[in-house]
Amino acid sequence: MEIEGKGAVIVGGASGMARASAEQLHAKGAKIAILDLPTSKGEEVAAALDGTFHPVDVTDYEGVEIVLAEAVEVLGGLQIAVNTAGGGAAARTLGREGPLPLEVFRRTIDLNLVATFNLNRLQAQHMAENEPEDEERGVIIDTASIAAFEGQIGQVAYTAAKAGIAGMMLTMARDLGSLGIRAVAIAPSLFSTGLTEGIPDEFAEVLTKDAAFPKRMGRPDEYGRLVVAIVETAMLNGGCIRLDAGQRFAPK
């Protein structure tokens, strides 16, 4: 898909990997709508990209439907969706204080997996209204994690959520293939964003010592470049691409 002139919704776009994706898509000529929390820097980021900011909490499922529709109306159509919102708390299946509280597990699944699917189904609905370009109407890009494949101790809820995102890509691509809509996930390793942004070099070296090359934290712009490549390469569909420098997480 050619990026020039396309409408792009970037969820979580006020910071980190999503912000880098928004910046690189904008540089290629996309129209940008940032969806993020009201407390984020979304308005500032959107203004710098000649875009619009639409505050929302992704776990407010009904609110997401309304806000997404508003964003698509401003864009004049939706062809590109990038979804990065998520997070989680560390807790073992069985810890010193007993079993992992079911509510903690549910919140993590809601924030990462259910919220992502809710966005996907609504984004696909808007994309289905597009006139096809070379038979393609849109591309949905979700964010998994290499924790989906080798989650560490204490990551059971987060692992389940991210594995769900990775696992639903092929089925979603098959569901949407007749409409000319692609679905791809990116599974990053440790990136310099969020909680890991600005950590000391010596600590970063410990965290990335098992990477093949380069032995460092990922950079948000590297995620953004992969987003651009996915959008521009129609044969990328139905999979989950590891962006991890060959790293495999140890148990802890």
Q: Collapsing DSSP states into helix, strand and coil, what is residue 30?
A: coil
Distances (CA, A) of 147 to 51, 138, 167: 33, 27, 13
**What CA–CA distance (Å, rounded) separates 134 from 126?**
18
Q: Are 7 and 49 a contacting pair, CB within 8 Å?
A: no
**What CA–CA distance (Å, rounded) separates 138 from 131?**
10
**What CA–CA distance (Å, rounded) separates 141 from 57?**
19
Q: The tokens of 9 are what?
A: 């919704």
Distances (CA, A) of 41 to 48, 79, 147, 237: 11, 24, 28, 31
List 105, 158, 191, 223, catalytic entry: 158
Q: Are 131 and 152 a contacting pair, CB within 8 Å?
A: no
**What CA–CA distance (Å, rounded) separates 232 from 2?**
6
Q: What is the 3-state secondary structure (H, E, C) of 175-199?
A: HHHHHCEEEEEEEECCECCHHHCCC
Q: Does residue 158 have an active-site annotation?
A: yes
Provide the CB-side half-sphere exposure for 242 (13 A, CA).
Answer: 14
- The 3-state DSSP composition of the chain as helix, strand, coil percent (nearest 5) reads 45, 20, 35
Active-site residues, by number, are 158
